[in-house]
Amino acid sequence: AAPAPAALAAAAAPAAATTASRTATRPPAPFGTCSGAVQKQLRFGISGREQPTVPVPLPATESLAEAVCCDNRTVAYAEPRFLYQAPDIALYSRLDAGVTTFYDSVCGLPLFRAPLNRSLAAFKADTDEHGWPSFRTAEVVAANVVTDVKSGLVSSRCGTHLGSYLPDGAGPRWCMDLSCIAGSPAGSPASQGTAVTAAA
């Protein structure tokens, strides 16, 4: 299903400041949940989202990824719906050939690999139906993803909030904030934050 134009317009408005001029800001200690700072060069254009566009009063110095992935004051909220479709993000145009691995935006752990056991068209349809990147059981790197099936909250092994567990008629489904799964592999030149041993 196509998003409403208003929803896409809201998701399509990145902050005017440039990523190069920005200093990473971690949430204050009582609210921070991540093991380190958000990587400076997030994939899929996410680093350009420098404002915490959530309905919670936060310092303007927190980026969208810092707010959504690492600040427990926003745990009940997600990044804007259909953010992945915004012109500056355009997730589908940035996917790898074949299978794309999505890494933690803080510590660089591999979290999801898609599409697996289904077509790219099926992955896109699932994602478009919900409004956030959506993964099925075979696509989850289970050793690195912590799912609370009671609350529906999903986090990584290194403490990054990732999104929600929202099963549907087709079975288990992980609906993730792209901001939190846009990192580079731990140990790579582009990665920042706390490195932890990655599960295969």
Is the separation of the CB atoms in 171 and 180 below 8 Å? no
Q: Of 109, 64, 83, nearest to 175 (Cα)? A: 83
d(CA 161, CA 88): 23
Confidence check: pLDDT of 9 > 50: no
pLDDT-based confidence at residue 131 (cuts at 50, 70, 90): very high
What pLDDT, on a 0 to 100 scale, did the predictor assign at position 191?
Answer: 67
Cα–Cα separations (whole angstroms), residue 179 to 46, 80, 139, 176 = 6, 10, 18, 8
State yes or no: pLDDT of 5 exceeds 50.
no
> What is the spatial distance between Cα 74 and Cα 54, in angstroms, rounded to a whole number?
7
Computed on alpha carbons and rounded to an integer, the radius of gyration of the chain in Å comes to 15
pLDDT computed for residue 54 by the predictor:
78
pLDDT at 11: 52
Please give the Cα distance from 133 to 75 (Å, whole number).
18
Q: CA separation (Å) from 131 to 79, 126, 149, 187?
A: 10, 9, 20, 31
The residue among 198, 1, 19, 12 whose CA lies nearest residue 101 is 198
pTM for the whole thing? 0.84
- Read off the pLDDT of residues 82-112 as tens digits, 9 standing for 90 and up: 999 999 999 999 999 999 999 999 999 999 9
Mean residue pLDDT of the chain comes to: 84
Q: Note the pLDDT tens digit of each residue in 18-35.
A: 444 445 567 767 776 788
Beta bridge partner(s), residue 18: none
DSSP per-residue letters across 154-173: EEETTS-EEEEE--BTTB--
